[in-house]
Structure 1
Amino acid sequence: MTTPLVQAEGIVKRYGPTVALADGRLTVLPGESHALVGRNGAGKSTLVNVLTGLQAPDEGTVHFDGRPAPPLADRDAWRRTVACVYQKPMVVPELTVAENLFVNRQPLHRGFISWRRLRSEAVALLDTWDVHVDPDARTAELKVEDRQMVEIARALSFGARFIVLDEPTAQLDNREIERLFSRMRALQDSGVTFLFISHHLQEVYEVCQTVTVLRDARWITTAPVAELPRAALVEAMAGESAAGHGPARATAASADAPVVLDVHGLTSAPFQEVDLTVRRGEAVGLAGTSGSGKIELAETLAGLHRPTAGSAQLDGRRLPFGDVRAALEAGVGWVPRDRHEQGLVSGMTIGDNTTMSVLDRLGRYGFVGTERRRGVAAELIERLDIHTEGPEQPVSDLSGGNAQKVVMARALASDPRLLVLINPTAGVDVKSKESLLARMDSAREDGTAVLVVSDELDDLRHCDRVLVLFHGRVVAEHPAGWRDHELIASIEGVDHG
C-alpha cells in the first residue's frame, strides 16, 4: 500500500470548555486533491491549524510521509512540509513578486542583497512550476488567482509538496476558477498534493479525487468522490436527523401585505443584480457561504456601503446608501455581524448603549432627559429580558448573550420599519438564542419587515422564505417548510441538473 503523505488520527482540540475538534481524522495520499468539507463550525479550520503546525493537538497524532510531525517550534521543518494558501493574502502587497518569493532569504553578495540573482532565481522558480507572472510586478497589482499561484510557488520553493487551499475560489469568477483548477491538475502531475477546502460542493466533484466530511467537530466519512453521490455528501454534512428536520414554523406572511423593502438590480463588488422584496410582517432569510455576498448585501441596506448600481426603496422612498445615520432615520434598525467591533461601546453603560440611536427623541435642543433615558432603557431591558443590575451597569460586564440582547434592544428602540439582522445569535447560549429569536418573531408580528442573514439554520427556520446567494447572485428561494438538506444543497452550490 502507498504510504499516506498526511495522516491525522484521533485529533482533539479544546479551547477552555469549548471542544473545537472531538475526533479529527484525515488520510491524504500522494499526488491527489483531497477535499475537506463541512458546515461552519464543523472543525475544518481547527484541523488545518493542527496540520500546518500553528497549534498542537490536545490528543491524537499527525504523520507526514510516515514520519511524526515536526516539533511546533521548528518552523523551518514545517515550511518544508506543508503550506496553506488562505483567502486573505499572505504576501506583502508593496513588494514585487520576486521579493515576496524570497522574503527573509534573499541571495546576498558581500553582505548586500543581490538583486540580479534575486530576479533570476525568481524567474527560474516561476518557470519550474509554470507560473506565468511578471517577477517585477508589485504583488498588490496581481489578480487574486495570480497572487495565489505566487503563494503556492513560494511554498514549493521551501520543499513543501503538500498545499492546503482554504476557500481558494471565494473571490474568483468562473473563468478564473477553471484556470485555477487547470493549474492544480498540472501541479498534481508534477507531484504536488492538495487539501482543498470549499463550501462549493460542485467544485469538489470537478477537481478532487477524495473527500473527507466533518460534522459537529467529528470525522464522519472519507470516500472517493466518484463513489459518493451528491445527495449522500449533503446528507453527511447535514446529518440524517437534520435532513429530516423541518422548520419550526411553516407559515408565511400574507401575500397581500404591503411591500416595505423593494430592491432592484442592486450591484456591488461582492454581489450582482440582486432583486428582493420584504413585506410588512415578513421575515426573509439570506443564506450562502462566506464568499456569497450575503453579509455585504445586508450591510449595504443598513447604510454601510454604496452599491455601484441598482436601487432600494423603503416604504416607497429611496433608501440612502453609504450613511448609517440616514438609514436609521429612514427606518432601518440594524444588528451588525460583530457585536464587539460594531455593536457596542464597551466603555458605556447598558442604558447608554440601548438608547444611543434614539437620543433625539429623549430631549430637546440637544439635551437628553436623564430620567426619560433611564425609563426607555429600563423598558428595553425588560422587553429583551437582559439580565442586569440596571441601566447604569457597564455593558462590558455582561455575558455574550446579554450583550447581544443590548445590541438587539438598540436596533428595536427606534421602532424600525425594516430590521436587518446579521448573525443575530452567533456566540450566545441556548436560552439567549431563544429569547433573541422570540424578539425577532414579535417584531414581525408587530408589522416590522425583517431581513435575516445567518449561518445558523435555526435562525433561518423563523423566516417566511429564504433566499440563497451563490457567488454574489440569488440562485434559489426556499419557502417556509424547507428541509435542511435542501437548503444546504443550494448553499453549497450542488448542481441538481
Structure 2
Amino acid sequence: MSAAPALDARGIVKRFGPTLALDSVALTVRPGESHALVGRNGAGKSTLVGVVTGLHRQDAGTVAFGGAPAPAFGDRAAWQAKVACVYQRSMVVPDLTVAENLFLNRFEGGPIRWGRLRRRAADLLAEYGVNVDPDVRARELTVEQRQFVEIARALSFGARLIVLDEPTAQLDARGIERLFTKLRELQAQGVAFLFISHHLQEVYELCTAVTVYRDARHVLTAPVAELAKDDLVAAMTGEAGAGASWHVGARAVREEAAPVLTAEGLALDGEFEPVDLAVRPGEVLGLAGAAASGNTALGETLAGMRRASAGRIAVRGRTVRPGSVPHALDAGIGYIPEDRHRQGLVPQRSVAENATLTVTDQLGPWGTVLPSRTREFARSMIASLDIKTRGPGQPVSGLSGGNQQKVVVARALARRPVALVAVRPTAGVDVKSKEALLAVVRRVADEGNAAVIVSDELDDLRVCDRVLALFHGRVVAEYDSGWSDRELVAAMEGVGERP
C-alpha cells in the first residue's frame, strides 16, 4: 500500500469579497515528491498556498496531511507541525544568529542557556546536513544558506511538507545546483516539496509531477516526464503555441550610427575589470553572467547606482557623472532594478505614486505635485503597459508580482529614456508577463534608443541582438543573436571559449 499523501487538497473554494480566487481546485503531493505548482500571476497559486499553510480559511473543500484532517484554523503550532513555507524573500531575522533564528519564539520560561541552545542548533543543522555555523549572524549567510536554515527550522517542528515559493529567484546557477542537491537528499528521507516557480526549466530538472492553475481553476496534473514544454506553457496560458511566442528575433541595428550608450575602461574594484561597451540605436545588449560574475554590478554602475573606480560612461557623447542617479536620469538613462521589493517599490504607496517617482518635477507648477496630473500620467502608463489594477489609487502591494514589475518598468520609462538598463527584469513573474516585459524593453530599442539586459536567464537574453558573457568580473565571450544554450551557459560558467 502506498503511504497517504503528504498533502491532499480537494474542492478548495476561496473568495475575497466578489473575487473568486480559487474555484474548486485540487492538489495532491506524495511523500518524497517534488511537485510543481505553476500558472500565470493571478492563477490562484498564492491563495492555495495560503489555504494549505493555514493563513486563509477556505470557503469550501478539505485539506488533509498524511491522511489526517488539517488542524483547526488559527492553531499555529499545529499547522507548523504539518507544513511550512520558504518564501522568495527570506524570513530569517538578519541581526540574530542562526541558532537564535532556529529557536525563535520557542524559548520557554526562565533564563536561556546559550551553550545548550547552540549545541541543539548544531545538532539540528547536522541532522539535515546543513553546513552552517550556528553562531554566525543570519545577515552573513548566502541566500541558499538562509533557505537551508528555514527548511531545517520547519523540519524541526515535525513538518514533512515544505512549500518553496520562487526559491531560486535570487540564486545563481551554482546556488540553484546546491539547493536542488539538498532538496533531493531530503526527498530521499520522505520530505515532500511543493515547488512554485516561473522558471519552467527548473520544474523539469527537479520535479516529478506538475499541477497547472489558470484563472483560479485546476487545469491539469501530470508527470513532468510525460508533458512537453510547449504543452505546459499552453496549459498555463490557454493559448496553443505560446511557448515560443516571446522568443523575439534580432532586429536591424543601425551600425553606422553613433552609439547611444558607451563605457570606456569602466571598472569597479572587486566587482569587474575594465570593460568597453558601445550600444547603438536599435540595439539590445545582453550582459550574461551568474551572481558573482560582475554583470549586475556593471549594470548598476551604468545606471549610477554604484560609483566606478575607473573609466567613463557617456550617453550620446555626454559624460555621465559617476555614481549619480540624478545625473544618470538627466542624461537619459532609465533603470529597472534587480529586486522590485527592496529597490523598486514603495509598497504602502499607490500605483500612481510609484509610477511617477522619477517625474515629480513634471506633475505641477513651481515644484508642486498635482494629484490630478499624477493620476492622469499614471492612467496613461497603466494603459500602455496593460497593468492589471483597480486604478491609479490602488496600493501597489495589492498587485500580482507581474503587475508590480510593470509598475517598476513604468517608472523607468516615465522620463522617456534613451538608454534603458534592466537588471533581471522578469525575475519572479509568469510566462505571459515575461513576454510583455521583454517586449517593452525591445520596443525601447526599436524606437531608436538603446537597451541593456543584465541577466542569467536565457529567455531574457534571447531578445538581445548581442550578448557579452561575464565570468569573475571579466568579459569572456561575445555572441551575436543565434547563440546556443550550451555555448552561452558554458561561457557563464567559465568553461566556454571566446569565439
TM beyond 0.5:
yes
SS in 2 for 1:3: coil
Q: After the TM superposition, which of the residue ranges 168-177 and 30-39 deviates more from structure 2?
A: 168-177
Does residue 356 of the first structure (1) align with residue 361 of the second (2)? yes
Query: Which residue of 1 is the match for residue 388 of structure 2?
Result: 427
Residues 20-49 of structure 1: per-residue CA shift (max 9 Å, x gap): 444532110111111222333333222212
Q: 1:113, 1:23 → 2: CA distance?
A: 47
Query: Which residue of 2 is the match for residue 35 of structure 1?
Result: 36
Does residue 476 of the first structure (1) align with residue 437 of the second (2)? no
> How do 1:134-213 residues align onto structure 2 when only pairs under 5 Å count?
134-213=133-212
Query: Which residue of 2 is the match for residue 129 of structure 1?
Result: 128
Task: Report the CA distance shift for 1:339/1:100 in structure 2 as closer, same or farther (over 3 A).
Answer: closer
Q: After the TM superposition, which of the residue ranges 8-17 and 120-129 deviates more from structure 2?
A: 8-17
Paired amino acid for 1:91: V
Paired amino acid for 2:378: Q
Report the Cα offset of residue 230 of structure 1. Answer: 2.7
> How do 1:445-460 residues align onto structure 2 when only pairs under 5 Å count?
456=433, 457-458=435-436, 460=438
Task: Report the CA distance shift for 1:113/1:172 in structure 2 as closer, same or farther (over 3 A).
Answer: same
Query: Which residue of 2 is the match for residue 89 of structure 1?
Result: 90
Q: 2:50, 2:327 → 1: CA distance?
A: 42
Task: Report the CA distance shift for 1:342/1:232 in structure 2 as closer, same or farther (over 3 A).
Answer: same
Q: 1:76, 1:472 → 2: CA distance?
A: 39
Report the Cα offset of residue 320 of structure 1. Answer: 4.0
Report the Cα offset of residue 194 of structure 1. Answer: 0.9
Q: Verify the 8 A CA contact 1:20 1:43 in the aligned structure 2.
A: yes
Task: Report the CA distance shift for 1:427/1:231 in structure 2 as closer, same or farther (over 3 A).
Answer: closer
Q: Verify the 8 A CA contact 1:343 1:407 in the aligned structure 2.
A: no
Paired amino acid for 1:478: V
Q: 2:296, 2:345 → 1: CA distance?
A: 11
Residues 415-467 of structure 1: per-residue CA shift (max 9 Å, x gap): xxxxxxxx954334799x9xx99xx9xx9xx9966778566334644645798
Q: Verify the 8 A CA contact 1:106 1:118 in the aligned structure 2.
A: no
Larger radius of gyration: 1
Paired amino acid for 2:456: H
Q: 2:62, 2:297 → 1: CA distance?
A: 40
Paired amino acid for 2:388: G
Q: 1:208, 1:43 → 2: CA distance?
A: 20
Paired amino acid for 1:476: L
Q: 2:264, 2:233 → 1: CA distance?
A: 32
Q: After the TM superposition, which of the residue ranges 194-203 and 447-456 deviates more from structure 2?
A: 447-456
Task: Report the CA distance shift for 1:202/1:472 in structure 2 as closer, same or farther (over 3 A).
Answer: closer
Query: Which residue of 1 is the match for residue 472 of structure 2?
Result: none
Query: Which residue of 1 is the match for residue 378 of structure 2?
Result: 404
Q: Verify the 8 A CA contact 1:212 1:223 in the aligned structure 2.
A: yes
SS in 2 for 1:35: strand
SS in 2 for 1:113: coil
Residues 259-289 of structure 1: per-residue CA shift (max 9 Å, x gap): 42346898999x9999987654x4869999x
Query: Which residue of 2 is the match for residue 76 of structure 1?
Result: 77
Report the Cα offset of residue 148 of structure 1. Answer: 1.5
Residues 139-197 of structure 1: per-residue CA shift (max 9 Å, x gap): 22222222212111111111111111122222223333222222212211222111122
Q: 1:100, 1:447 → 2: CA distance?
A: 44
Report the Cα offset of residue 75 of structure 1. Answer: 0.5
Q: Verify the 8 A CA contact 1:7 1:26 in the aligned structure 2.
A: yes
Task: Report the CA distance shift for 1:276/1:58 in structure 2 as closer, same or farther (over 3 A).
Answer: farther
Q: 1:65, 1:355 → 2: CA distance?
A: 55
Q: Verify the 8 A CA contact 1:259 1:277 in the aligned structure 2.
A: yes
Q: Verify the 8 A CA contact 1:201 1:494 in the aligned structure 2.
A: no
Residue identity (%): 48
Q: After the TM superposition, which of the residue ranges 326-335 and 154-163 deviates more from structure 2?
A: 326-335
Q: 2:276, 2:212 → 1: CA distance?
A: 34
Q: 1:231, 1:103 → 2: CA distance?
A: 44
> How do 1:271-290 residues align onto structure 2 when only pairs under 5 Å count?
279-280=280-281, 282=282
Q: After the TM superposition, which of the residue ranges 226-235 and 45-54 deviates more from structure 2?
A: 226-235
Q: 1:144, 1:494 → 2: CA distance?
A: 21
Residues 180-239 of structure 1: per-residue CA shift (max 9 Å, x gap): 222212211222111122222222222221111223333222111222233332333333
Q: Verify the 8 A CA contact 2:162 2:194 in the aligned structure 1.
A: yes
SS in 2 for 1:127: helix
Q: List runs of 5+ in structure 2 lacking aligned partners.
A: 338-343, 393-402, 466-484, 491-499
Paired amino acid for 1:260: V
Query: Which residue of 1 is the match for residue 482 of structure 2?
Result: none
Query: Which residue of 2 is the match for residue 104 of structure 1?
Result: 105
SS in 2 for 1:56: coil
Query: Which residue of 2 is the match for residue 24 of structure 1?
Result: 25
Paired amino acid for 1:30: P
Does residue 316 of the first structure (1) align with residue 317 of the second (2)? yes
Q: List runs of 5+ in structure 1 lacking aligned partners.
A: 363-367, 374-390, 410-422, 481-489
Q: 1:323, 1:75 → 2: CA distance?
A: 47
Query: Which residue of 2 is the match for residue 65 of structure 1?
Result: 66
Q: Verify the 8 A CA contact 1:345 1:353 in the aligned structure 2.
A: no
Number of residue pairs aligned between Structure 1 and Structure 2: 423
Q: 1:275, 1:40 → 2: CA distance?
A: 38
Q: 1:203, 1:250 → 2: CA distance?
A: 24
Q: Verify the 8 A CA contact 1:294 1:472 in the aligned structure 2.
A: no
Report the Cα offset of residue 78 of structure 1. Answer: 0.7
Q: 1:98, 1:3 → 2: CA distance?
A: 33
Query: Which residue of 1 is the match for residue 400 of structure 2?
Result: none
Report the Cα offset of residue 341 of structure 1. Answer: 6.9
Query: Which residue of 1 is the match for residue 260 of structure 2?
Result: 260
Q: 2:460, 2:250 → 1: CA distance?
A: 23
Q: 1:324, 1:38 → 2: CA distance?
A: 36
Residues 380-423 of structure 1: per-residue CA shift (max 9 Å, x gap): xxxxxxxxxxx955568x4xxx45247799xxxxxxxxxxxxx9
SS in 2 for 1:39: coil
Supply the RMSD in Å over aligned alpha carbons. Answer: 5.1
Could you tell me the TM-score, scaled by structure 1's length? 0.67
